[in-house]
């Protein structure tokens, strides 16, 4: 297996679960594989295909994806073809003949072909060793992308009862997983579930205010990089793509209403790096196997968490850092609800409403976004801080939220616990709207009790109280709020509550790699990129089929000077070495000579060399200059109190700055901040007693004599 992996695919080791799945399938057993996008699903059937004597049949609903995968396999020296509606009858006949004569190892087919009698007869003439069903969630009505054609797979199982079957999907809840197994009659299949965590992806939600201007600023961070923007409607995709072109960006719209030829041409330009940005509808799956998408933007609200996860999963499939940004406005839910009302089947409508409510919950989170996504797929996150979402990486200043909480809970109670967040906010702010007057809520004593708070601020605290369990929502098209027992106790006992302060005005940010990622030479990288594009154009294939960005970055880091060292680069196998090795080595040699660089040894640098198949380092975010300014004052040995005064921040915010600086590996003066030894030792002993690094348990033991700021400060030295 390892010899084939290196020879054909150019990798030195497998990703998690790949070797186990391949071994299981080579023993002619059925397998159900649940592995996130970018996790290496394709290799699980592509490598066994080379070991089996017959042909491997791959069922895929994504026409463009078939072509990309076949191009990539051929570039690696593997005989592969696809049959779908884009081919002429004469072309299909040639491919079928190659399959019959044993010239093919892998054949991709679209699911609708399986319904044709002639095609079933053709399949019977082949020696099929393995059947791989990609995007298996399409068979389930409970999934986010149901395709009726996938029901034809039951016929395939009956035609070849003794051939091992592998079902693969990137997104499936427990319910969808069970449905797939039942539909494909794979109850005896071993289930392989990889982690859903994509640590190289950075998740951000931004308020949808001045969204287009913010989008422009976001795109400027990714010059000449591949970007996908998802919108609600076909009209939106056309308008935004046109607006972006006027701003000087290479952008094209992509949706189901375009002619097939136009869609195909647009997609070809995107995968060949001739168009930087694709603006697509959220309802239309693109099926792009492009590994170097650096940014995925949801300009509109997605329909479900599964859909969102799959769409964001198109970023960073090569394992390098990439960003996923959602522009959120609660008003977007109204557009979705308008169409949900048209669903006649009540169970189906309720399911769609529930899925939409989960997306809203994700967008309004004040806790870790990655943790929420993992929990959705029944996976637990171990770390307290994921270091890869806006919530975890935004400094949190705490405020006494007792009064605002009392006001929110009081309005919910006084209005009979029969209204949603929007109406509660209107009553709190004393809004002069028809509905309030009709219900007589303007006569309530609580009407207008928070008129100085903004709508955004009140929505923020309501979402926090939902998370904290003080209030809950009734499900349905119009979710209503009510008090939980915890909320009632809080209100009756006049308790106190401290919550993270709202922070709505975001400074511009940049996503950077942590220390440990390769600090490659960008000048050489661009020269190699140009060579890659030139070779790709000559062969009429996407650039990533020649070499991935991961491979180019390694070349621009290690400067391989001969074929032996070039072969150590990730993704370089025997075929690619023979085809492209000398061309790339020549560029590297000339560049190294011109800049007086020498080759770096993989062995000497093994501590820094990260296997590109493993996830890239996580992100951290630096606010433009705010952390740097705090660092400068720390190096001047200023106290926390003085720095807070100079900068106009609270002491808690300054301590948060210090925590982020320390987490990102920055070096700065800190010894002068150490607490008096007696207090420090007492805090240290309590942390040890609590068995963790959380502040809550320690504060509970020590009591109010010790502030949260002191505990945070002490934790920096532990």
Q: Which of 286-300, 414-428, 492-506, 558-572 bottoms out in mean pLDDT, i.e. has the lowest? A: 492-506
pLDDT at 88 over 60: yes
> Is 173 or 230 the better-scoring residue by pLDDT?
230
Under the banding of pLDDT at 50, 70 and 90, the label for residue 596 is confident
Give kind and range of the element (H or E) at residue 111: none
Whole domain around residue 41: which residue ranges? 2-193
Angle at 627 (CA atoms; ends 632, 460), nearest 5 degrees: 150
Q: Which of 297-306, 436-445, 502-511 bottoms out in mean pLDDT, i.e. has the lowest? A: 502-511
Q: Domain check: are 144 and 224 in the same one?
A: no
> Is 611 or 250 the better-scoring residue by pLDDT?
250
Residues 133, 168: contact at Cβ < 8 Å? yes
Amino acid 619: pLDDT: 26
Q: Domain check: are 358 and 283 in the same one?
A: yes
Q: Which of 193, 213, 244 is the last residue of a domain?
A: 193
pLDDT at 614 over 60: no
Other C-beta atoms closer than 10 Å to the C-beta of 89 total: 7
Q: Domain check: are 127 and 243 in the same one?
A: no
pLDDT at 286 over 70: no
Q: Which of 143, 166, 193 is the last residue of a domain?
A: 193
Q: Domain check: are 570 and 653 in the same one?
A: no
CA distances from 707 to 356, 482, 552, 696 (A): 40, 33, 50, 11
Residue 442 burial (C-beta neighbours within 10 Å; 0-12, 13-18, 19+): middle
Residues with Cβ within 8 Å of residue 505, at least 6 apart in sequence:
none
Query: HSE on the CB side for 407, CA within 13 Å?
Result: 23
CA distance 87 to 82: 9
**pLDDT tens by residue, 311-331:** 898 899 888 899 999 999 877
**pLDDT tens by residue, 513-553:** 433 456 778 788 889 988 999 998 888 888 888 998 889 98
Amino acid 346: pLDDT: 79
Could you tell me how far CA 604 lies from the centroid of its own chain?
Answer: 34
List the beta bridge partners of residue 32.
Answer: 167, 191
Is 604 within the bounds of a domain? Answer: no
Is 532 within the bounds of a domain? Answer: yes
Under the banding of pLDDT at 50, 70 and 90, the label for residue 488 is very high
Q: Domain holding 661: CATH number? A: 1.10.10.1390
Question: What would the DSSP string read from start to end of 482-514?
Answer: EE-HHHHHHHHHT---EEEPP---PPPEEEEEP
DSSP strand E in 6-104: where?
31-34, 55-59, 80-83
CA distance 703 to 699: 6
pLDDT at 693 over 90: no
Q: Domain holding 68: CATH number? A: 3.40.50.300
CA distance 229 to 241: 9
Is 700 strand, coil or helix?
helix
What's the whole-number mean pLDDT along residues 614-626?
35
Q: Which of 306-315, 336-345, 688-697 bottoms out in mean pLDDT, i.e. has the lowest? A: 688-697
Q: Domain holding 532: CATH number? A: 1.10.150.80
Among 373, 512, 381, 516, CA closest to 36: 373
Q: Domain check: are 529 and 486 in the same one?
A: no
Among 389, 396, 485, CA closest to 695: 396
Conformational region of residue 82, where left means phi above 0, alpha means psi within -120 to 50, and beta covers everything else = beta
Is 712 within the bounds of a domain? Answer: yes
Q: Domain check: are 533 and 447 in the same one?
A: no
Other C-beta atoms closer than 10 Å to the C-beta of 476 total: 12
Angle at 645 (CA atoms; ends 397, 672), nearest 5 degrees: 85
Question: What would the DSSP string read from start to end of 428-481?
Answer: HTT---HHHHHHTGGGSTTTTTTTTS-HHHHHHHHHHHHHHTSEEEE-SSS-EE
Query: HSE on the CB side for 395, CA within 13 Å?
Result: 25
CA distance 717 to 712: 9
Amino acid 696: pLDDT: 64
What's the whole-number mean pLDDT along residues 357-386?
85
For the chain, give me the number of helices (H) and strands (E)?
Answer: 32, 19
> Cα Rg for the chain, rounded, in angstroms?
28
Share of the chain above pLDDT 70, in %: 88
What's the whole-number mean pLDDT along residues 297-302?
92
Q: Domain check: are 251 and 111 in the same one?
A: no
Share of the chain above pLDDT 90, in %: 28
* Eight-state DSSP code of residue 7: I
Q: How many residues make up the chain in this entry?
A: 718
Among 632, 707, 631, CA closest to 665: 631
Q: Domain check: are 377 and 236 in the same one?
A: yes
Q: Which of 389, 416, 448 is the last residue of a domain?
A: 389
Q: Domain check: are 182 and 243 in the same one?
A: no
Is 611 within the bounds of a domain? Answer: no
CA distance 199 to 374: 11
Under the banding of pLDDT at 50, 70 and 90, the label for residue 181 is confident
Q: Are strands 190-193 and 31-34 parallel, antiparallel or unpaired?
A: parallel
Q: Report the chain's mean pLDDT, rounded to a whole number.
A: 83
Is 82 within the bounds of a domain? Answer: yes
Q: Are strands 293-298 and 226-231 parallel, antiparallel or unpaired?
A: parallel
Q: Domain check: are 152 and 216 in the same one?
A: no
CA distance 10 to 7: 6
Under the banding of pLDDT at 50, 70 and 90, the label for residue 152 is confident
CA distance 642 to 3: 62
Amino acid 599: pLDDT: 65
pLDDT at 604 over 60: no
Amino acid 164: pLDDT: 92
Q: Domain check: are 310 and 409 in the same one?
A: no
What's the whole-number mean pLDDT along residues 555-583?
89
pLDDT at 508 over 60: no
Residues 223, 249: contact at Cβ < 8 Å? no
Residues 356, 340: contact at Cβ < 8 Å? yes
Q: Domain check: are 264 and 241 in the same one?
A: yes
CA distance 199 to 201: 5
**pLDDT tens by residue, 418-456:** 999 889 999 999 988 888 988 999 999 999 999 888 888
Residues with Cβ within 8 Å of residue 85, at least 6 apart in sequence:
63, 110
Is 378 strand, coil or helix?
coil
Amino acid 712: pLDDT: 84
Q: What is the total count of domains within the chain?
A: 5
**pLDDT tens by residue, 213-262:** 889 989 988 888 999 999 988 899 999 999 999 888 999 999 888 887 88
Other C-beta atoms closer than 10 Å to the C-beta of 639 total: 14
Is 419 within the bounds of a domain? Answer: yes
* Cα distance between the two ends of the chain: 46
Q: Domain holding 453: CATH number? A: 1.10.10.10
Q: How are strands ordered across the β-sheet holding 322-328?
A: 201-207, 322-328, 293-298, 226-231, 277-281, 251-254
pLDDT at 334 over 80: no
Is 613 within the bounds of a domain? Answer: no
Amino acid 602: pLDDT: 53
> φ and ψ at 207, to 5 degrees?
-65, 140
Is 148 within the bounds of a domain? Answer: yes
pLDDT at 598 over 80: no
Q: Which of 24-33, 335-344, 539-548, 561-570 bottoms out in mean pLDDT, i.e. has the lowest? A: 335-344
Q: Which of 106-115, 313-322, 482-491, 666-675 bottoms out in mean pLDDT, i.e. has the lowest? A: 666-675
Amino acid 642: pLDDT: 84
CA distance 592 to 238: 45
* Eight-state DSSP code of residue 521: -
pLDDT at 623 over 50: no
Residues 254, 285: contact at Cβ < 8 Å? no
pLDDT at 613 over 50: no
């Amino acid at each position: 297996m390892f010899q084939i992996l290196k020879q054909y695919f150019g990798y030195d080791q497998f990703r998690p679960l790949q070797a186990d799945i391949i071994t299981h399938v080579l023993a002619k057993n059925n397998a159900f594989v649940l592995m996130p996008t970018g996790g290496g699903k394709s290799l699980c059937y592509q490598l066994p295909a080379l070991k089996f004597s017959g042909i491997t049949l791959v069922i895929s609903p994504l026409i463009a994806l078939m072509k990309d995968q076949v191009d990539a396999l051929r570039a690696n020296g593997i005989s592969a073809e696809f049959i779908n509606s884009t081919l002429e009858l004469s072309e299909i006949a040639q491919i079928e003949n190659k399959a019959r004569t044993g010239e093919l190892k892998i054949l991709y087919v679209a699911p609708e072909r399986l319904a044709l009698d002639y095609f079933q007869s053709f399949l019977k003439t082949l020696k099929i060793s393995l059947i791989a069903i990609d995007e298996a969630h399409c068979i389930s009505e409970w999934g986010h992308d149901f395709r009726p054609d996938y029901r034809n797979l039951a016929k395939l199982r009956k035609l070849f009862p003794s051939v091992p079957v592998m079902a693969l999907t990137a997104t499936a809840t427990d319910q969808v997983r069970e449905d797939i197994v039942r539909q494909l009659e794979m109850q005896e299949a071993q289930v392989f579930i990889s982690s859903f965590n994509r640590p190289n992806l950075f998740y951000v939600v931004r308020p949808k205010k001045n969204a287009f201007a913010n989008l422009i600023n976001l795109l400027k961070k990714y010059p000449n990089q591949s970007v996908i923007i998802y919108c609600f409607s076909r009209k939106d995709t056309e308008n935004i793509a046109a607006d972006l072109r006027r701003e000087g960006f290479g952008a094209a719209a992509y949706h189901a209403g375009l002619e097939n030829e136009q869609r195909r041409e647009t997609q070809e330009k995107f995968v060949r790096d001739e168009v930087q940005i694709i603006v697509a509808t959220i309802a239309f799956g693109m099926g792009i196997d492009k590994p170097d998408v650096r940014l995925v933007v949801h300009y509109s609200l997605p329909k479900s968490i599964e859909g969102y996860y799959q769409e964001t999963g198109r970023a960073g499939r090569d394992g390098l850092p990439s960003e996923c940004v959602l522009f959120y406005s609660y008003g977007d839910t109204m557009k979705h609800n308008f169409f949900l009302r048209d669903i006649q089947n009540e169970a189906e409508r309720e399911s769609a409403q529930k899925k939409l409510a989960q997306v809203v919950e994700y967008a309004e989170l004040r806790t870790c976004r990655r943790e929420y996504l993992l929990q959705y797929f029944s996976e637990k996150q171990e770390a307290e801080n994921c270091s890869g979402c806006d919530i975890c990486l935004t400094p949190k200043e705490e405020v006494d939220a007792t009064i605002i909480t009392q006001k929110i809970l009081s309005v919910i109670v006084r209005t009979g616990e029969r209204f949603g967040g929007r109406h509660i906010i209107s009553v709190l702010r004393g809004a002069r709207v028809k509905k309030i007057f009709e219900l007589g809520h303007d006569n309530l004593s609580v009407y207008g009790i928070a008129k100085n708070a903004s709508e955004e601020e009140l929505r923020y605290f309501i979402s926090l109280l939902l998370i904290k369990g003080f209030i809950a929502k009734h499900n349905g098209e119009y979710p209503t709020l009510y008090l939980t027992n915890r909320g009632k106790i809080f209100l009756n006992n006049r308790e106190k509550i401290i919550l993270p302060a709202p922070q709505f005005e975001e400074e511009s940010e940049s996503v950077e790699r942590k220390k440990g990622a390769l600090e490659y030479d960008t000048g050489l990288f661009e020269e190699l990129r140009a060579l890659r594009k030139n070779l790709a154009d000559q062969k009429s294939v996407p650039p990533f089929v020649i070499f991935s960005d991961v491979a180019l970055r390694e070349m621009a880091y290690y400067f391989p000077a001969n074929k032996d060292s070039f072969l150590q680069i990730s993704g370089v196998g025997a075929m690619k070495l023979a085809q492209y090795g000398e061309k790339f080595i020549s560029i590297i040699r000339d560049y190294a000579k011109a800049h007086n660089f020498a080759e770096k040894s993989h062995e000497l640098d093994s501590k820094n060399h990260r296997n590109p198949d493993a996830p890239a380092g996580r992100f951290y975010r630096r606010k433009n200059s705010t952390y740097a300014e705090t660092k400068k004052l720390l190096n001047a040995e200023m106290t926390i109190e003085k720095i807070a005064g100079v900068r106009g921040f609270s002491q808690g915010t300054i301590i948060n700055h210090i925590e982020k600086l320390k987490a990102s590996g920055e070096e700065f003066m800190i010894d002068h901040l150490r607490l008096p030894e007696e207090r420090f030792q007492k805090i240290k002993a309590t942390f040890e007693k609590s068995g963790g690094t959380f502040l809550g348990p320690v504060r509970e033991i020590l009591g109010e004599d010790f502030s949260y700021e002191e505990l945070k400060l002490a934790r920096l030295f532990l």
